[in-house]
Amino acid sequence: MLDSLATSEVVHTLQRAAQVIRWLPDPEPPPLAAPPVGRLRVGVDLGTAYLVLVVLDESGQPLAGEYQFAQVVRDGLVVDFVGAVDRLRGMKARVERRLGRELTHAASGYPPGVPLPEVRAVANVLESAGLRCTALVDEPTAANALLGVQTGAIVDVGGGTTGIAILQDGKVVYTADEATGGTHFSLVIAGAQGIEFEEAEALKTNPDEQSRLFPLVRPVMEKVASITARHVHASGVLVESLTLVGGTCAYPGMAQVVEQYTGIPAQVPLHPAFVTPLGFALHDEATI
């Protein structure tokens, strides 16, 4: 597995995703020179902290996408249906403008353990935004469509939660989800510095501030590591590698802290926030 992350294909896909997925406050990129031909695959990730829409071409390479900060979904539960539909519709329209082609379908998913009626709400958001929902998969299965882990654990540290998935022979055999994520990093920073949450969030994601703030967030990283260690133990699987995904794992030092605490080699792919959204897109099986 440790080799798979380094495969040039995964690295290339994530690099390309970071180039073409626009962060909403950035200026809108120009349209493609010509609309793409062939089958498109679309992934929508309704996360606690970010909404992501990504479009892949026939060969699985990212063509365009968008992500924006939004608090319309919490840990897989749609808490603001109208807001979620509204934002997704806007993302779809802007990405269509860039592509010069209509998007008609998409795949999405849910954190493991979310009750079925709530999962249906995710599909309803897509359908109401004009996207036929072709597949709903659990997040670690989606992430692994890109990563290709055979035996090991995928730890997804998003905005709200840490999701653990243990894989054997490429299949998810154990999952758990606990309430520690990037929001807690920001809360710790806000408390220690006596600042508002939004300011702490901006400091936390500023590469120039991250080494200064490291001692503050280290205990939260250790909490992620302790959750991981507990579930690895509970699964009874011999886990020899951890792959850390989700936006929070972009914080430098995360892999080292988790590795030291658990004693299991850990690594973070390039642009870890895009792994799950790309995995959703890889599950979009529509034929047009």
Ligand X SMILES: Nc1ncnc2c1ncn2[C@@H]1O[C@H](COP(=O)(O)OP(=O)(O)OP(=O)(O)O)[C@@H](O)[C@H]1O
Residues forming contacts to ligand X in the complex (CB under 6 A) are 45, 47-50, 75, 158-161, 181-183, 201, 204-205, 246-248, 250-251, 273
Given the complex with ligand X, which of 151 and 226 has the nearer CB atom?
226
CB 55 within 8 A of CB 68: no
Taking the complex as a whole, the smallest distance from the CB of residue 139 to ligand X amounts, in Å, to 7
Given the complex with Mg ion, which of 62 and 246 has the nearer CB atom?
246
Taking the complex as a whole, the smallest distance from the CB of residue 169 to ligand X amounts, in Å, to 26
Question: Which helix (H) or strand (E) element contains residue 178?
Answer: strand 171-178
Which of Mg ion, ligand X, none is residue 110 near (CB under 5 to 8 Å by kind)? none
Which of Mg ion, ligand X, none is residue 274 near (CB under 5 to 8 Å by kind)? none
Taking the complex as a whole, the smallest distance from the CB of residue 35 to ligand X amounts, in Å, to 29
- Return the structure tokens found at 206: 């500023």
Which of ligand X, Mg ion, none is residue 109 near (CB under 5 to 8 Å by kind)? none
Which of Mg ion, ligand X, none is residue 273 near (CB under 5 to 8 Å by kind)? ligand X
Which of ligand X, Mg ion, none is residue 279 near (CB under 5 to 8 Å by kind)? none
163 binds Mg ion (CB under 5 A): no
Taking the complex as a whole, the smallest distance from the CB of residue 276 to Mg ion amounts, in Å, to 5
Partners of 171 in beta bridges? 168
Residues 6+ apart with CB under 8 A from 227: 162, 164, 176, 178, 180
CB 244 within 8 A of CB 268: yes
Taking the complex as a whole, the smallest distance from the CB of residue 202 to ligand X amounts, in Å, to 9
Which of Mg ion, ligand X, none is residue 248 near (CB under 5 to 8 Å by kind)? ligand X
Segment 33-52, which members bind Mg ion (CB under 5 A)?
Answer: 47
Q: What is the DSSP string of 50-100?
A: EEEEEEE-TTS-EEEEEEEE--SEETTEES-HHHHHHHHHHHHHHHHHHHT
CB 167 within 8 A of CB 173: yes
Residues 6+ apart with CB under 8 A from 141: 109, 165, 172, 279
**How far is residue 50's CA from residue 25's CA, in Å, rounded to a whole number?**
13
Answer for which of 158, 160, 272, 279 binds Mg ion (CB under 5 A) is 158
Taking the complex as a whole, the smallest distance from the CB of residue 52 to Mg ion amounts, in Å, to 9
